[in-house]
Chains A and B, each alone.
Chain A
């Protein structure tokens, strides 16, 4: 089964802005809401962004999401050491009739 395409790694120094991309198709990102998850080592995924750019309560506004056509992106501004984690995009796929996930991006704070 296909996955959404993310870069395997990203990095930045404290205070920098980092952008993680997620590429899909018309049957998933192009037609449905995009969600982003943060997964710290040894923990369950945590909802970070939903409906492309909405944040659950408790998620800092340093995290933002956007979508254009069949691609989406997660931006993290004012990078902090505690942001070091794996980040996954996800979307419902109309062909699969289920959820598709990106392969994950490991963010390193240098």
Chain B
């Protein structure tokens, strides 16, 4: 069955950096887009970034553009989110989700908590 497992969440100071990982299993990894979606405490869902199956295409929400970088390693069935210049407003649970070609995020991981605080 499809499984997505995030790791790397931590408490980090403002201005700091962090790298999240998402390990995938149960499907042909390079056939799918992979995305990151975050949820601030008590708030709704916010799309952060996506990367295509071949890594040809990536895009970012305006709120993280220039600070976050998405990448994937198809040999390791993993997707990563490198976050730098972190701000308090980046505090959230970060979910990794699988994206189909017609725009459906059909499977989600359990999330990794990132807390940005001094």
> B44 to A103, Cβ gap below 8 A?
yes
Q: Which residue of A lies closest to B104 (CB)?
A: A50
- Chain A nearest CB from B40 CB (Å) reads 12
Q: Which residues of A contact B35 (CB under 8 A)?
A: 99
- The interface size of chain B toward A, counting residues with CB under 8 Å, comes to 24
Q: Which residues of B contact A92 (CB under 8 A)?
A: 103
Number of interface residues of A (CB under 8 A): 27
A27-59 contact mask (Cβ, 8 Å, vs B): 1 or 0: 000001101010000011111001100001000
The residues of A that contact B62 with a CB separation of less than 8 Å are: 1
Q: Tell me how many residue pairs across A and B have CB atoms closer than 8 Å.
A: 62
* Interface-facing stretch out of B13-21, B23-31, B45-53, B80-88: B45-53
B50 close to A98 (CB less than 8 A): yes
A24 within 8 A of B: no
Tell me if A100 counts as interface (CB < 8 A to partner B): yes
**Chain B residues touching A, majority SS:** strand
**Is A47 a contact of B103 with CB atoms below 8 Å?**
no
Q: Which of A5-36 contact B (CB under 8 A)?
A: 32-33, 35
A74 contacts B by Cβ under 8 Å: no
Complex CA gap A3/B44 in Å reads 10
Q: Is B32 an interface residue (CB 8 A)?
A: no
CB-contacts of B71-104 with A (<8 A): 95, 102-104
